[in-house]
Amino acid sequence: MSTVFVFILVIGFLIFVHELGHFLCARLFGIPVHEFAIGFPPRIFHKEIHGTTYSINALIFGGYVKIFEGERGEGGFTDAHPFKKIIVLLGGIFANICIALCCMIIAFMIPFDRMVTPSSAQGHDRIEMRVVDASASLSSLPEISLGDTLAEAPTVRDGVFVFDQDTLTLLKKEGEHIPFDWATLTKEEQDIFLQSFQAYAQTSLSFHHAVYQGARSLVIITESFFISMREMIRPQSSESSASLVGPIGIAGIVGDAARAGIQQLLFITALISLNLAYINLVPFPGLDGGRILIIIGETITRKPLPKTAHAVIHGIGFLVLIGLMIFITTKDIIRLF
């Protein structure tokens, strides 16, 4: 699957979820919504229901919502109680957090390989031995490389992995099958050979365990994000900016995850969704957090800013964000060369 296609699909889906969060919160509080769109124009289909136009557009990646702002007394977003305004703005952030948690729960329920020991291997139908250290070698045994596996599965006896077969087969990662005598080896030779291997078993979590692990991962990622943000704004943390990635870098990460399998793609989607949520929470003009900060300021001073002031503040913030994105994207391109 094309890296660019997967990247657009993931980002578009997360933007759509974000806008859906704003839309549902606005409808919950009775704030008029002019349009809720799947994708971006040109428009393919639209239907108006209870004053809201629902449309499907040709560029299906993403979406947008047009909430009626209105003037004072027109019953739009401008007239809504500050608490409701904040909830509507937080709706997109909350939606991204929820979808991230869902992605991680699903990912943890998908069967995956994990390392096992003789004591934790009980109850698994199939145990696979994989080479993790190719430094050990014996003249009486075939040469091993990282990624090679054994065709036979071991059993557990007296707290250790053992093979009852007389002959084992080494499966080379290139596809070659190399049988060799096992029963004729001394105990010492067998132990040296097995030291190069790690046992893996396929497992998956039950729903309630997946929910626990998903919530735990969400907390860990959240802590890591805010620690990173704190380090980034420190004057002496110039190295932190080197780790920033833009659309090109994210596209590469998403592409690698897609090639690794659906489970890795779900984890990366969850990570991007959480970053999208928390970045929008930053109190900077042009972001949801910036609008929330202005609403709080207007509530405290009881002096609403004119619409022109709102437009100028968020317009400048948006231009700064675009400039930052161009800067980071340029660094992504430089990294490629």
* Tens-digit pLDDT profile for residues 288-297: 898 899 999 9
The percent of residues in the chain predicted with pLDDT above 90, rounded, is: 26
pLDDT of residue 84 exceeding 90, the answer is yes
Answer with the residue of higher pLDDT: 253 or 36.
Answer: 36
Q: What is the pLDDT of residue 95?
A: 96
Is the dihedral angle over the CA atoms 59, 65, 70, 75 positive or is it negative?
positive
Q: Is 130 helix (H, G, I), strand (E, B) or coil?
A: strand
Confidence band for 248, pLDDT divided at 50, 70 and 90: low
Least confident range of 55-64, 197-206, 259-268: 55-64
Whole-structure pTM value: 0.76
Sheet with 149-150: strands ordered across:
112-115, 197-203, 127-131, 149-150, 167-171, 177-181
Q: Is the pLDDT of residue 88 over 90?
A: yes
Runs of H (alpha helix) within 110-206: 187-194
Query: Cα-Cα-Cα-Cα dihedral of 270, 102, 289, 284, to 10°?
Result: 0
CA distances from 310 to 60, 68, 75, 278, 291 (A): 30, 15, 19, 22, 9
- For the chain, the domains span 3-32+68-110+206-336, 113-203
> In terms of Cα–Cα distance, which of 96, 127, 104 is closest to 114?
127
Q: What angle (nearest 5°) sits at the alpha carbon of residue 186, between those of residues 181 and 190?
A: 70
CB within 8 Å of 147: residues ≥ 6 apart: 130, 131, 173
Across 305-328, average pLDDT: 80
Least confident of 17-26, 122-131, 214-223: 122-131
Burial of 306 (0-12, 13-18, 19+ CB in 10 A): exposed
% the chain with pLDDT above 70: 88
Which pLDDT value is given to residue 239? 47
* Residue entry with tokens 């929820």: 98
CA pair distance 170, 185, nearest whole angstrom: 15
Residue 150, classed as helix, strand or coil, is strand
pLDDT digits (tens, 9 = 90+) for 165-179: 889 999 988 888 999
Residue type, 229: M
| Alpha carbon separation from 313 to 5, 46, 95, 281, 292 (Å, rounded) | 34, 33, 26, 17, 13
- Looking at residue 282, what is its pLDDT? 86
Structure confidence by residue, pLDDT tens digits, 274-315: 988 998 898 888 888 988 999 999 899 888 888 788 888 888
The model's confidence at residue 92, banded by pLDDT at 50, 70 and 90, is: very high
Give me the residues paired with residue 35 across strands.
53, 66
User: Alpha-carbon distance 149 to 196, whole Å?
Assistant: 11
The sign of the dihedral angle between the CA atoms of 137, 142, 148, 149 is negative
